[in-house]
Amino acid sequence: MSIYDTLNPEQKRAVQHDKGPLLLLAGAGSGKTRVLTHRIAYLIEERGVNPWNILAITFTNKAAREMRERVDKIVGYGSENIWVSTFHSTCVRILRRFIDTIGYSRSFTIYDTEDQKTLMRDICKYLHIDTKKINERAILSALSKAKDELISPEDYERSAGGDYIKSRYAKAYIEYQKRLKASNALDFDDLIYKTVELFQKNKEALVYFQNRFRYIMVDEYQDTNTAQFQLVHLLSSGVNEQGEREYNLCVVGDDDQSIYKFRGANIQNILNFEKAFPNTEVIKLEQNYRSTKNILNTANEVICNNIGRKEKSLWTDNEEGEPVHFTQFDNDYEEADAITAEIKRLVESGEANYNDFAILYRTNAQSRLFEEKIVLRDIPYRIIGGQNFYQRKEVKDILAYLKTINNGQDDIAVKRIINVPRRGIGLTTTDRVNDFALQNDISFYEALTMAEHIPTLGRTASKITPFVSLIEGLKSRLNQEGYSLSELIDDILDATGYLRELEKEGSDEAMDRIGNIDELVNKLVAYEENAVEEPTLSGFLEEVALVADIDNLDEENDHIVLMTLHSAKGLEFPYVYICGMEEGIFPGYMALHADNPQEEIEEERRLCYVGITRAMKRLSLSAAKQRMLRGETQFNRPSRFIQEIPRYLLKITTPTPKRFTSSFNNRNSFNRNSLTMGNDIFDKPTPTTYKPYLTPEPRHFEGANMGTLDYDIGDTVKHVKFGEGIVTNITKGGRDYEVTVEFPNYGVKKLLSTFAKLVKVN
């Protein structure tokens, strides 16, 4: 039996399409990676296409690895000549070959987010931009959007007109790009932007890669921005032997899963694909192999409310499955407590393993309560979206040494390590060297090599010379034949004494940092052992720079995963919990009050659709009647996305009442009995800000003649913020009583009676 006989009819049509543009509208869980890998095999085996002429582009390293493994398995011999990589990795490979034709060295450095912030801080200081009024992050965000739209610094400045803020952004943009080039560095947006610039300026480079890549496949096409669209359009615009443009371009995507507008993704790229590429064949992959019928029906019912989409509907041959669960809790503490308790119970009963579970939320801030409850229940977990391994101080320090050795023009890297470990080179000395470098239009490191000739340094120049000698010595060793990268990192650690200082410190934190350095060494050794081409320092730094946090998710480890809905895209779990399903949370407040709320809410609805379709076996949705946000208690009605799900698809459950729960007056509370299969609960407007009870005026105490309290130890009292709790102790002070209260959702609090305004609950 042929491998193509295992495909469904639509998948087979897509695999066998071999000429002209192809748009695959691939719904969640519809086997799109399988289609792409089989299509590559079909082109090679049945159409005689040279593997050298095939390019497959993904958005994440994880997706690229999975596709590479499948391609290698199906294609076998010759598969190593197929480019399977992310947009950014593809552009790096192109730039390493031709970037010298647009004024950069091929050994360029890639700046991460922290490097960008450091550079922008220096620029704001140089341009006298008040960062209290114009934040560095806001400037970097504006610059990123400009690059996504292929707007040059000069064009951006011309468009600023009389807008003061935009004109300051423009000045910063010009200086930012100038300094990046002086440091022979690119940021992530530049990797795409500069590749497009290269192709526009260097026809030879463009024709070379057009001839190289006769067949191009792009995954997750709905997430492309303008720059990525232009890159794909340029690469696929080559002509055949008859001088005709064939556009042998296959893009795979789902407009219903376009959720990265905030990163510059342009949904119009997929919605208008047929206009950009004439004679496009459109094939819909709607059969889902992941989820139950009930989960898919729920997803379809939600997403059909969007107007800006291509018509399609997921279906499956899988079982009907459980109804989707929806629970509305009294507050966010109960929500976190109940979900983590249920996970613990399911695992202890043998029904599931921890790695079967994912808790998804709209914002990172929602993870705190879950993390607290998880720790209390001793549940193994991992939060996706925490600090990336490569952003830890000790790791960045060692990487900065490697970057300096690889590219001395990288001012950010050199400045980071000039006094790490301490060499007595302070900020004043660094500023004087930096001023000299700017005045003479040279790099910071080059200025360091001339320290003895910088008049403002005086005797501190002698402290700089050993650092320069260290770097030059390591550079010369790297050029020796047979000298490995693992030897280089060992020499850095030995020569700098970095590890010795941490060992001397001896604290738990220092031991953790040593462990992180050891892990970096492991990574470098693994790179040397597994590199397809000859391992180089540039290659290692490039691989590290392109790693995303989600790429490190080990799905085999037995722990639950907590992450935002954005991070969950591309993943699947048997059990999925989506929490915080409330108006103002999801969809968020910003979407509800945007200039174009319809467009923003449709993006939020797509995000909800993505979350729902992550679930394979069971999906649980939850909301809270009250939630603490920015120090204030808010009351939000259930999300409109819950209302869009027909009641026959939902199993609505009422949480088990706790001994102590916050009770509110009738006009500010939901009626627990209304949480039924009807629609009552969804139709009742509720206040969005907390209004406390009116309480008696505080008693006045004078010295020892303090008045009596109307509650005693053991009584249940109510606090305006913490709800109800039990008084466990009362102590007389000089002018007030100190009341100790145990609140079920907030723990033990010690309060002064005058200010606490506690009211006894009868």
What number is the average pLDDT over the span 471-495?
Answer: 90
Q: Is 257 a catalytic residue?
A: yes
pLDDT, position 761: 85
**pLDDT above 60 for 659:** no
User: What is residue 562's three-state secondary structure?
Assistant: strand
The whole-angstrom separation of Cα 36 and Cα 511 is: 45
Q: Is 219 a catalytic residue?
A: yes
Q: Is 178 a catalytic residue?
A: no
pLDDT, tens only, 584-630: 999 988 889 888 899 999 999 999 999 999 999 999 999 999 887 65
What CA–CA distances, in Å, run from 136 to 131, 179, 430? 6, 16, 21
Pick the catalytic residue: 122, 220, 410, 600? 220
What type of residue sits at position 485?
Answer: L
The answer to whether the beta carbons of residues 718 and 761 sit under 8 Å apart is yes
Alpha-helical runs (H) found in 659-723: 680-683
**Which pLDDT band holds residue 555 (cuts at 50, 70, 90)?**
low
The answer to whether the beta carbons of residues 334 and 551 sit under 8 Å apart is no
What number is the average pLDDT over the span 663-686?
Answer: 36
pLDDT, tens only, 688-697: 332 222 223 3
651, with CB counted inside 10 A (0-12, 13-18, 19+), is middle
Length of the chain: 762
Give 95 or 655, the one with higher predicted confidence.
95
What number is the average pLDDT over the span 160-178?
Answer: 93
**pLDDT above 50 for 94:** yes
pLDDT, tens only, 23-56: 999 999 999 999 999 999 999 999 999 999 999 9
Could you tell me the two tokens for 601?
Answer: 């809410």
Give 228 or 713, the one with higher predicted confidence.
228
Pick the catalytic residue: 33, 298, 316, 328? 33
What pairs with residue 190 in β-bridges?
none
User: 522: which residues sit within 8 A by CB, 6+ positions away?
Assistant: none
The whole-angstrom separation of Cα 377 and Cα 203 is: 62
Could you tell me the two tokens for 320?
Answer: 């009907």
**Which pLDDT band holds residue 186 (cuts at 50, 70, 90)?**
very high
What number is the average pLDDT over the span 379-403?
Answer: 84
**Mean per-residue pLDDT of the chain:** 86
What CA–CA distances, in Å, run from 283 to 12, 25, 30, 250, 660? 10, 6, 12, 11, 56
3-state helix, strand, coil in the chain (%, to 5): 50, 15, 35
Query: Which strands, in side-by-side order, build the sheet including 759-760?
Result: 747-752, 737-743, 723-732, 716-719, 759-760
What pairs with residue 576 in β-bridges?
358, 619
The whole-angstrom separation of Cα 227 and Cα 196 is: 7
What number is the average pLDDT over the span 651-661?
Answer: 69
Residue 580, phi-psi category: left (phi > 0), alpha (psi -120 to 50), beta (remainder): left
pLDDT, tens only, 98-114: 999 999 999 899 998 88
Pick the catalytic residue: 116, 222, 257, 366? 257
What pairs with residue 627 in β-bridges?
634
What number is the average pLDDT over the span 715-730?
Answer: 84
Could you tell me the two tokens for 329?
Answer: 């809790």
Element (H, E) at 56: strand 54-58
**pLDDT above 60 for 675:** no
**pLDDT above 90 for 241:** no
Q: Is 542 a catalytic residue?
A: no
**Which pLDDT band holds residue 735 (cuts at 50, 70, 90)?**
low
The whole-angstrom separation of Cα 332 and Cα 586 is: 14
Residue 478, phi-psi category: left (phi > 0), alpha (psi -120 to 50), beta (remainder): alpha
**Which pLDDT band holds residue 550 (cuts at 50, 70, 90)?**
low
The whole-angstrom separation of Cα 558 and Cα 573 is: 13
pLDDT, tens only, 410-445: 899 999 999 998 888 888 999 999 989 888 889 999
**Which pLDDT band holds residue 666 (cuts at 50, 70, 90)?**
very low
**Which pLDDT band holds residue 1 (cuts at 50, 70, 90)?**
low
The answer to whether the beta carbons of residues 65 and 550 sit under 8 Å apart is no
pLDDT, position 388: 61
pLDDT, tens only, 107-143: 899 998 889 999 999 999 999 999 888 888 889 999 9
User: Of 122, 263, 97, 131, which Cα lies nearest the Cα of 183?
Assistant: 122
Could you tell me the two tokens for 447?
Answer: 């200025």
The whole-angstrom separation of Cα 613 and Cα 325 is: 14
Element (H, E) at 697: none
**Which pLDDT band holds residue 556 (cuts at 50, 70, 90)?**
low
Pick the catalytic residue: 175, 219, 337, 600? 219
416, with CB counted inside 10 A (0-12, 13-18, 19+), is buried
When mean pLDDT is compared across 251-255, 416-420, 456-460, 749-753, the lowest value belongs to 749-753
The answer to whether the beta carbons of residues 3 and 70 sit under 8 Å apart is no
Pick the catalytic residue: 290, 309, 614, 618? 614
Pick the catalytic residue: 10, 11, 32, 222? 32
**Which pLDDT band holds residue 352 (cuts at 50, 70, 90)?**
very high
The whole-angstrom separation of Cα 235 and Cα 212 is: 9
Question: Residue 293: CA atoms inside 13 Å, Cβ hemisphere, count?
Answer: 6
User: 130: which residues sit within 8 A by CB, 6+ positions away?
Assistant: none
Q: Is 387 a catalytic residue?
A: no
pLDDT, position 683: 42
Element (H, E) at 741: strand 737-743
User: Of 684, 687, 681, 682, which Cα lies nearest the Cα of 636?
Assistant: 687
Give 303 or 748, the one with higher predicted confidence.
303
| Angle at 742 (CA atoms; ends 739, 747), nearest 5 degrees | 120
What CA–CA distances, in Å, run from 365 to 368, 372, 384, 470, 623? 6, 13, 13, 44, 15
Element (H, E) at 356: none
User: Of 520, 535, 460, 515, which Cα lies nearest the Cα of 489?
Assistant: 520
What type of residue sits at position 701?
Answer: F
Q: Is 220 a catalytic residue?
A: yes
pLDDT, tens only, 212-238: 999 999 999 999 999 999 999 999 998
**pLDDT above 80 for 703:** no
pLDDT, position 663: 34
pLDDT, tens only, 277-334: 989 999 999 999 999 999 999 999 999 999 989 999 999 999 999 999 999 999 999 9
pLDDT, position 734: 58
When mean pLDDT is compared across 472-476, 503-507, 579-583, the lowest value belongs to 503-507
The whole-angstrom separation of Cα 79 and Cα 56 is: 12
pLDDT, position 652: 93
User: What is residue 25's three-state secondary structure?
Assistant: strand
Reported pTM: 0.73
The answer to whether the beta carbons of residues 519 and 527 sit under 8 Å apart is no
> Is cis: bond before 587, omega within 30 of 0?
yes
**Which pLDDT band holds residue 64 (cuts at 50, 70, 90)?**
confident
**pLDDT above 90 for 573:** yes
**pLDDT above 50 for 681:** no
The whole-angstrom separation of Cα 642 and Cα 652 is: 11
683, with CB counted inside 10 A (0-12, 13-18, 19+), is exposed
Could you tell me the two tokens for 616?
Answer: 């394979």
The answer to whether the beta carbons of residues 329 and 627 sit under 8 Å apart is no
**pLDDT above 60 for 145:** yes
